[in-house]
Structure 1
Amino acid sequence: MSSTKLYTPIIPPIPPTDETRPKPLEGVHEEKRLQVLAHFTAEDYKLPNVEKDPKLMEMEKFWLTNDCMLRYLRATKWDVPAAIKRLESTLAWRRSFGFYDSLTPEHVEIEGQTGKEVIFGYDQGNRPGLYMFPSRQNTEESERQIQYATFMIERTIDLAPPGIENIALFVNYGDKSPKSPSLSTSRNFLSILQNHYPERLGRAYIINIPFLLNAFFKVIMPLVDPVTRDKVRFNPKVIDEGLIDKEILLNAQGWGGNADFEYEHDKYWPALIEICKKRREEQMARWHELGGKIGADEWILKGGPIVVAHPQTGDASNEAVTKDETHQTGSIAA
């Protein structure tokens, strides 16, 4: 166990090279990507079935990265109309869910007072870890609980390093509580994760599942997309199976790690919000520098290094990204 008490997040390290940078598409997949891109960058594009401000807002253009469109294409097995429909469904949902006005740290903070969700460390895939402790539930069931869970998913994504699109969920149902989330709330959250965060779940490690919830999972899991279903591990031995380094696994509620983490809201919450705020600001600044267009490359937005060959020697070296370099490497698609 760590000899130092920890109170703030440990975030994944940023890869030192571009080895994890996604490779350019070729052939029919590239054609499909361009079709989706052309749809959303059309000069007269308006979000369908939206009467108020149907034009895309700046934050929506920022969200519509090249990688985002590819996630939806992969999730729909490269069906262009289906990917577009799902993207537009998520865009409309994000508006109605309050992403651009009411979904703020101040609004959801009360839900985090007991540390029922903690972003800490990462698994062997370098995916940032989001721990969920349902027994620490501190509020009555409401939409704000779902908003908080979604808010924490977003913050976990903020902390993913360049080249890592997925997150890891660590869910521990140990230590029963009368305020544990209902099956309805669990089903609602699962629906949001599946419909509006395709290709975002890397792994879900779930332990100490109570009888009723176990029955629920047995009913619901066959209905879940097979790709998503394969990412869920029930009662795994995460250390023995080499799924996560013991030194960055929490020692809380039976996980058995060495990280001596203690949740103190006044220390953890401000640190988390500040780290994520800074990362978002840095990404937005890069996005504006590169033209502020739909189809940006998340690798560059997240600060991933670019290997540029020296024009005379041909030797590769990491250099700061400029607008011209980005255009030459195809990082901005339109």
Structure 2
Amino acid sequence: MSETVYLPINPPAEPAVPLPHPELTDGEKQMQQEVQKHFEDPAYTPSAEKPLMDVEKMWLSYECILRYLRASKWKVDVAIQRLEATLKWRREYGMYETVPADVEPEAVTGKEIPLGFDVHGRPALYLIPSRQNTTESTQQIQFNVWMLERCIDLMPPGVESLDLLINYADKAKNPSFGTARAVLNILQDHYPERLGLALILNVPWLLNTFFKLITPFVDPVTRNKMKFNPQVIEDGIFSPDMVMAQWWGGSYKFEYEHDKYWPALIALCEERTKAWTATWQKLGGKVGLKEFDYKRGHLEHTEAAPSVPAPEGADSVPAPEGAES
């Protein structure tokens, strides 16, 4: 690519080589049904305030329940407790009230950029600490969460995780131990099974010490996903056209211009979530529907369906009539 670009990369209709989960045993299928039944109960409420909203029922997908079961070592009671804790946290955190303008001051320098997809279709989220533009605050953490949610919006059918591409060059400003711990706790408690890889460049000596301090608080599975100074193309993680030329050696010549990138990202994510919600409603609008089905169903309605391999347990869904595109 010879020309500089300023916009997000559109998600692929299908991941190149989706990463499948092991086939579920009969016992694991029964566990999923047990957790789902708990949240399907019409009398269930996450708190005393109000019953489950549609957006919460949609979040409580088949895959979401499995993510929490895997993270809970297939203990049904633990998975239910963790799901309930996340439902409560999402309400208290203002997940459903936050709008782009609330976090936009954090975005103007391009310190966090969703851009491109790895060979498995996982969205890439670039973190560039040298572009830090605000003092540490709850808004910084809120922005981290908001960007993570946008990466989830960008995931193609069958993809459930993302990659972090972190570059500590150019006198990067390191987060405090307290901020790093707060973000880490949110990721581990409320976004299990969402990290694909953490790819980290140019770690200075002082930051090495910081990583040693924070490592005991990182679960072993996450720790094994961290790769320092990787060659992302040579290592087969990204194709050249899906990764930045700057720092990462790809062929995508991207430059961050906030007034171009920011509205394009918002529009792209809103378009996808609106279409998926419409398809989810057409499929019944209830707890336990499959993310793969409402994403796939939308694709089947809007274009010639690509050959996306269904994850274990996903059904073949006909195109819903009248789904919005």
TM over 0.5, shorter chain: yes
| 1:43 match | 42
TM-score normalised over the length of structure 1:
0.86
| 1:246 match | 240
Does 2:134 correspond to 1:135?
no
Relative distance call for 1:238 and 1:319 in structure 2 (3 A) is same
Q: Distance in 1 between matches of 2:15 and 2:210?
A: 43
| 1:86 match | 82
Matched ranges for 1:255-294 at <5 A: 255-294=248-287
Does the 8 Å contact 1:158/1:276 carry over to 2? yes
Does 2:175 correspond to 1:181?
yes
Instruction: Give % identity.
Output: 49
Does the 8 Å contact 1:239/1:246 carry over to 2? yes
Give the aligned residue type for 1:321.
Answer: A
Q: Distance in 2 between matches of 1:89 and 1:172?
A: 33
If you compute each CA radius of gyration, which structure gives the higher value, 1 or 2? Answer: 1
| Alpha-carbon distance, 1:139 to partner | 1.1
| 2:194 match | 200
- Of residues 207-216 and 30-39 in structure 1, the stretch that sits farther from structure 2 once superposed is 207-216
Matched ranges for 1:101-250 at <5 A: 101=97, 103-177=98-172, 180-250=174-244
Following TM superposition, where does structure 1 have runs of at least 4 consecutive aligned residues deviating by more than 6 angstroms? 16-24
Q: C-alpha root-mean-square deviation of aligned residues, in Å?
A: 2.3
| Alpha-carbon distance, 1:242 to partner | 1.7
1:288-329 Cα shifts (integer Å, max 9, x gaps):
11111011110122135679xxxxxxxxxx984348xxxxxx
1:83-139 Cα shifts (integer Å, max 9, x gaps):
0111111111111111011x2101001110000011111112211100000110111
1:227-269 Cα shifts (integer Å, max 9, x gaps):
21111111212222122112221123x2222211000000000
Q: Distance in 2 between matches of 1:19 and 1:202?
A: 12
Q: Distance in 2 between matches of 1:186 and 1:206?
A: 15
| 2:6 match | 7
Does the 8 Å contact 2:174/2:207 carry over to 1? no
Relative distance call for 1:20 and 1:226 in structure 2 (3 A) is closer
Match of 1:321 among 314, 319, 322: 319
| Alpha-carbon distance, 1:19 to partner | 7.9
Q: Distance in 2 between matches of 1:113 and 1:105?
A: 12
Q: Distance in 2 between matches of 1:16 and 1:75?
A: 24
Match of 1:100 among 85, 96, 99: 96
Does 2:31 correspond to 1:32?
yes
Structure 2 spans left out of the alignment, 5+ residues: 306-315
TM-score normalised over the length of structure 2:
0.88
